[in-house]
Amino acid sequence: MARLQLRNLEKDYGSFRAVHGINLDVEDGEFMVLVGPSGCAKSTTLRMIAGLERVTGGEIRIGGELVNDKTPGDRGISMVFQNYALYPHMKVRKNLSFSMRLKRRPAAEIEQATQHVSNLLEIDPLLDRLPKQLSGGQAQRVAVGRALIKKPQVFLFDEPLSNLDAKLRASMRVRITDLHKRLKADGQQATVIYVTHDQTEAMTMGDRICVMRDGHIMQVADPVTLYSRPANTFVAGFIGSPEMNFLDGTFEGENSVRAAEQVIVLGDEFTKRISGRSEHVTLGIRPQHLRIVAPETPGTIKGKLTHIEFMGHEVYLYVDIGPKRLIAVVPSASYDRGALRDDWVWLSPDPKGVHLFDRQSGENISLAI
């Protein structure tokens, strides 16, 4: 049992409240990613779970047990730090076995565990090196190994890949998710809390993702739900690249929205999804859900094409409508250079990819179905 529960967790720094009573349940063996912009208290939350930061209010339970007042060493957790935090004066072997040596485990057991972990992470040729003789990727693997050897109930990762270059990051991403799957298959408890500011990491690694902002949880969901049914403008804007287009507008009739002095028809199908009816709304359209249609098509968005970026398999089109700028991403194959820079174009949103948010609260009001 290595369920992690956060109940009304709060953290104050003097008069500043960093974490505002968050609630989160992470199931046994789940890979949970905490993601958010810098300063959203995701790392603080992780450090509270680790016991490195004192809890101001609320409860942390690991495997049902309240751990608020336990030392980090007694919580059954292990942690991988952003800059590895390997002990610089110890060889890799000693780094890996430090926790076991503290517990005075028998030498044979330590040796066996070290071998097992180093085989698993392919670091056995590095065992007799000092941390300064390792590359970034190797150091990160050793850091993961040091976490692994403790056989913890919960693994905590604090932006572990942010010091690596893009290529290595991609391979480490796969390595960590593979490792998680392998541990689970071996029957080891492998609940993971993974903090990152990188939405790609979040989307590719997490079973579920917890999006945070200013010490509040904005949404907890699996990657697909997060992308296709964002709970609010923040999540909608944070997840997805390029960012979702937002247009402020008002309802015009039953199934149309007036925004940027144009009437955008969303169709009856879309209307069924709307759960609340508010005066002022924000229309959210993912760039991938805009396509160019024949000129003067009624109910579409007319704008001027200002930039065209060719990205290889797709093309980014920057379209100005009045003071607002929309981005449309179209497959290169379907972009036939019919529209050129400074041409007027008509964009039609795919109603399936359109979201409507209450402008006041930012809540998504188009999630009825």
Partner 1 sequence: MTDHILSQNSPAARDIDIARSRETRRHRFNAALRYALLTGVGLLMLYPLIWLIGASFKTNSEIFANPGFWPESPTLDGYIKGWKTSTPYSFGTFFVNTLWIVIPKVIGTAISCTAVAYGFARFDFPFKKVLFSALIATLLLPNVVTRIPQYLIFRDLGWLDSYLPLWVPSALAGDAFFVFMLVQFLRAIPRDMEEAARVDGATTWQTLIFIVVPLLMPALISVCLFQFMWTMNDFLGPLIYISSVDKYPISLALKLSIDTTEAFEWNRVLAMSVLSLAPALAVFFLAQKYFIDGISSGGIKG
Closest to partner 1 by CB, 131 vs 249, is: 131
Q: How far is CA 162 from CA 83, 130, 170, in A?
A: 8, 22, 11
The one among 71, 296, 312, 336 contacting partner 1 by CB under 8 A:
71
Q: Is 169 in the site for partner 1 (CB under 8 A)?
A: no
Q: How far is CA 322 from CA 49, 89, 259, 294, 345, in A?
A: 48, 61, 10, 20, 13
Residues 46 and 33: their CA atoms lie apart, in Å, by: 11
The one among 44, 78, 245, 262 contacting partner 1 by CB under 8 A:
78
Q: Is 153 in the site for partner 1 (CB under 8 A)?
A: no
Residues 267 and 269: their CA atoms lie apart, in Å, by: 6
Segment 110 to 149, residues that bind partner 1, using CB under 8 A: 132, 136, 139, 146
Residues 137 and 85: their CA atoms lie apart, in Å, by: 13
Residues 49 and 42: their CA atoms lie apart, in Å, by: 11
> Is 337 within 8 Å of 326 (Cβ atoms)?
no
Minimum distance from CB of 45 to partner 1 (Å)?
15
Measured on CA atoms in the order 210, 27, 161, 45, is the torsion positive or negative? Answer: positive
Q: Is 98 in the site for partner 1 (CB under 8 A)?
A: yes
Helix axes 92-102, 136-148, angle to 10 degrees: 20
Residue 242, preceding bond cis, omega within 30 degrees? Answer: yes
Piece of 81-89, 263-271, 350-358, 360-368 that binds partner 1 (CB under 8 A)? 81-89
**Nearest CA among 84, 86, 82, 66 for reference residue 74:** 66
The one among 3, 93, 150, 359 contacting partner 1 by CB under 8 A:
150
Minimum distance from CB of 47 to partner 1 (Å)?
8
The one among 77, 285, 305, 365 contacting partner 1 by CB under 8 A:
77
Q: Which two tokens stand for residue 276?
A: 């609340």
Closest to partner 1 by CB, 50 vs 317, is: 50
The one among 31, 84, 227, 234 contacting partner 1 by CB under 8 A:
84
Closest to partner 1 by CB, 137 vs 303, is: 137
Piece of 83-91, 187-195, 208-216, 333-341 that binds partner 1 (CB under 8 A)? 83-91
Q: Is 72 in the site for partner 1 (CB under 8 A)?
A: yes
Q: Is 79 in the site for partner 1 (CB under 8 A)?
A: yes
Q: Is 235 in the site for partner 1 (CB under 8 A)?
A: no
Q: Which residue has the tokens 């579920």?
A: 208
Q: Which two tokens stand for residue 255?
A: 């199934």
Residues 330 and 317: their CA atoms lie apart, in Å, by: 8
Strand partners, 349: 290
Q: Is 102 in the site for partner 1 (CB under 8 A)?
A: yes
Closest to partner 1 by CB, 103 vs 307, is: 103
Q: Is 194 in the site for partner 1 (CB under 8 A)?
A: no
Give me the residues that bind partner 1 (CB under 8 A), please.
50-52, 71-74, 77-79, 81-89, 98-99, 102-103, 132, 136, 139, 146, 150, 163
